[in-house]
């Protein structure tokens, strides 16, 4: 089996690749599991060294739109049985730079779909969408609980671009060009590594940086709701989307992945239970109106009946999520007394 992961050098892309390599095989769309022969990682950056050391990994470095052009080598796309499309510009970047978002999120997704349509290979394609397709506004307030049938009402460029991507995947699937599955990712926390340009980045930073003994921004009020998922649960949902049969998957509309409903204040309290008051003392509570304008439009409580029917579940607690991060990233934890 041949697999492509766009955004393959990023945090989620690399973690997905490691998980698939460890599995060794994959069942696509309900078929029998087949051995994974090659995973091609497409990204602007080179993949981590542990991945490039595996003979099953191939890296293609460069702009995704360029890699999808008519002049680029079509072989990886022609041979792909499955494509995980994770590459994207993130929320804060898209709000600050409209053209970047349109090129990275809309144009690249459209170009990818057109590329595989022209090749007539009909791969399974998993598109990483976002809970940002749901947005609250005075004219069209969100319901208290988002369900699988709730109409998306995005309030940011990023959310709109992701919703357009969902609709493109649905229509290319309807026409038989791909076997598409769009999954709406929740706020992924705790992400290791350096901060990115996402408006949601502080949901990881407010945990990651204090555990490293560093100050961290917490730019929204404690009562701000958030729907979170650990990296492990997120990757589990992405893979399950590829595995599900057409009958199990159901309608072509995007699937909301399971989420743990919490608040910023509850996240800080969980951090204190794990690492003590020394950790929460490192939180800078200075409000950031720009971040708040984006985050306050996102839903905090999401019901995921379709995902549950596929055997997916949310994290047990945010404290458990933090402890999972500590176990997986011991070298990143510098604050004394964290076990």
Catalytic residues: 158
Round to whole Å and give the CA distance between 7 and 215: 29
Round to whole Å and give the CA distance between 268 and 294: 20
Answer yes or no: are the C-beta atoms of 73 and 100 closer than 8 Å: no
Query: Which conformational region is residue 311 in: left (phi greater than 0), alpha (psi within -120 to 50 degrees), or beta?
Result: left
Q: Is 182 helix (H, G, I), strand (E, B) or coil?
A: strand
**Residue 315 phi, psi (nearest 5):** -65, 150
237: which residues sit within 8 A by CB, 6+ positions away? 183, 185, 229, 257, 258, 307, 312
Round to whole Å and give the CA distance between 147 and 103: 30
Tokens of 280: 């929460």
Round to whole Å and give the CA distance between 33 and 318: 33
Answer yes or no: are the C-beta atoms of 14 and 231 closer than 8 Å: no
Round to whole Å and give the CA distance between 19 and 8: 12
Tokens of 258: 């399971």
Peptide bond into 190 cis (omega under 30): yes
CB atoms near residue 194 (< 10 Å) = 9
57: which residues sit within 8 A by CB, 6+ positions away? 17, 21, 38, 39, 40, 41, 47, 51
Q: Is 134 helix (H, G, I), strand (E, B) or coil?
A: coil
Tokens of 332: 């990143």
Peptide bond into 216 cis (omega under 30): no
């Amino acid at each position: 089996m041949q697999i492509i992961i766009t955004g393959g050098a990023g945090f989620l892309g690399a973690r997905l690749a490691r998980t698939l390599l460890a599995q060794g095989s994959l069942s696509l769309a309900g078929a029998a599991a087949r051995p994974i022969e090659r995973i091609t990682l497409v990204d602007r950056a080179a993949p981590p060294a542990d991945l490039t050391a595996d003979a099953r990994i191939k890296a293609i470095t460069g702009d995704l739109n360029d890699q999808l052009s008519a002049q680029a080598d079509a072989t990886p796309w022609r041979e792909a049985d499955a494509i995980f499309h994770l590459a994207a510009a993130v929320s804060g970047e898209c709000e600050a730079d409209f053209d970047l978002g349109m090129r990275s999120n809309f144009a690249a997704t459209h170009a990818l779909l057109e590329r595989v349509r022209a090749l007539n290979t009909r791969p399974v394609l998993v598109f990483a969408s976002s809970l940002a397709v749901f947005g609250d506004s005075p004219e069209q307030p969100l319901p208290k609980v988002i369900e699988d049938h709730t109409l998306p009402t995005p309030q940011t460029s990023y959310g709109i671009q992701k919703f357009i991507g969902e609709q493109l995947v649905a229509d290319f699937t309807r026409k038989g060009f791909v076997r598409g599955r769009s999954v709406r990712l929740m706020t992924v926390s705790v992400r290791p590594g350096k901060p990115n340009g996402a408006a949601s980045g502080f949901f990881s930073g407010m945990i990651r940086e204090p555990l490293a003994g560093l100050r961290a921004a917490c730019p929204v009020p404690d009562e701000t709701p958030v729907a979170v998922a650990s990296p492990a649960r997120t990757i589990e949902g992405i893979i399950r989307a590829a595995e599900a049969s057409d009958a199990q998957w159901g309608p072509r509309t995007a699937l909301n992945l399971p989420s743990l409903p919490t608040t910023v204040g509850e996240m800080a309290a969980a951090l204190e239970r794990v690492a003590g008051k020394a950790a929460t003392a490192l939180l800078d509570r200075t409000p950031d109106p720009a971040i708040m304008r984006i985050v306050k439009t996102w839903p905090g409580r999401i019901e995921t009946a379709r995902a549950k029917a596929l055997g997916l579940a949310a994290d047990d607690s945010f404290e458990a999520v933090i402890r999972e991060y500590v176990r997986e990233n011991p070298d990143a934890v510098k604050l004394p007394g964290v076990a």
